Structure 1
Amino acid sequence: MPIVLIDQDSDPDATIVQLSFGDRLGALLDTLKILDTMKALTDLGLHVTKGSVTANEFVVRTKFFITQMGRKIVDPDILERIRLTIISNLLKYHPESSEKLAMGEIFGIKPPVKLDVELATHIHLEHDGPKRSLLYIETADRPGLLLEIIKVITDVNLDVESAEIDTEGLIAKEKFHVSYRGAALTDPLSQLLVNCLRYYLRRPETDEGSY
Structure 2
Amino acid sequence: MAIAMASASLATTLPGLNKAFEITRSSVASVAGFSSSGLKAPRSCPLHGQRLSSSRTVIRQASAATTLEDGSQSETDIVPTPKVIIDQDSDPDATVLEITFGDRLGALLDTMNALKNLGLNVVKANVYLDSSGKHNKFAITKADTGRKVEEPELLEAIRLTVINNLIQYHPESSTQLAMGVAFGAVPPTQQVDVDIATHVNVVDDGPDRSLLLVESADRPGLLVDLVKIITDINIAVESGEFDTEGLLAKAKFHVSYKGKAIIKPLQQVLANSLRYFLRRPTTEEASF
TM-score, with normalisation over the residues of structure 1? 0.89
What is the SS of the residue equivalent to 2:212? Answer: strand
Aligned to 2:237: 160
* Amino acid across the alignment from 1:48: V
Partner of 2:13: none
Report the structure number with the largest CA radius of gyration: 2
Other-structure match for 2:271: 194
Retained in 1: the 8 A contact 2:89–2:241?
no
Deviations 1:54-94 (A, max 9, x none): 34676122111111222222222221111111111101111
Aligned residue runs from structure 1 range 1-211, under 5 A: 1-23=81-103, 26=104, 28-29=105-106, 31=107, 34-55=108-129, 59-68=133-142, 69-106=145-182, 107=184, 109-206=186-283
1:22-74 CA-partner distances (Å, limit 9, x unpaired): 23xx2x31x4xx22111111111111012123346761221111112222222
150-159 or 49-58: bigger deviation: 49-58
Aligned 8 A contact 2:140 2:148 in 1: yes
More helix by share: 1
Structure 1 Cα separation of the partners of residues 242 and 130 of structure 2 = 25
What is the identity, as a one-letter code, of the residue corresponding to 2:164?
Answer: S
CA apart distance, 1:99 = 1.3
Which moves more between the two structures, 104-113 or 189-198?
104-113
Q: What is the TM-score with the length of structure 2 in the denominator?
A: 0.66
**In structure 1, C-alpha distance between the alignment counterparts of 2:262 and 2:131, rounded to whole Å:** 45
Instruction: Pick which of 109-118 and 39-48 moved more.
Output: 109-118
Q: Contact 1:73–1:79 at 8 Å: present in 2 too?
A: yes
**Aligned length, in residue pairs:** 203
SS of aligned partner of 2:274: helix
Which residue type is aligned with residue 87 of structure 1? I
Q: Please give the alpha-carbon distance, in whole angstroms, between the structure 2 residues aligned to 1:72 and 1:175.
A: 18
Contact 1:200 1:206 in 2 (8 A): no
Indicate the larger mover: 140-149 or 61-70. 61-70
Q: State whether residues 3 and 167 of structure 1, in contact with CA within 8 Å, keep that contact through their aligned partners in structure 2.
A: yes
Percent identity of the aligned residues?
57
For structure 2, which runs of at least 5 residues remain unmatched after alignment?
1-80
CA RMSD of aligned residues (A): 1.9
| Counterpart secondary structure, 1:166 | strand
State the SS of the aligned residue for 1:22. coil
Deviation at 1:8, TM superposition (A): 2.2
Structure 1 residue runs of 5 or longer lacking an equivalent are: none
C-alpha contact 1:160 1:176 (8 A) present in aligned 2:
yes
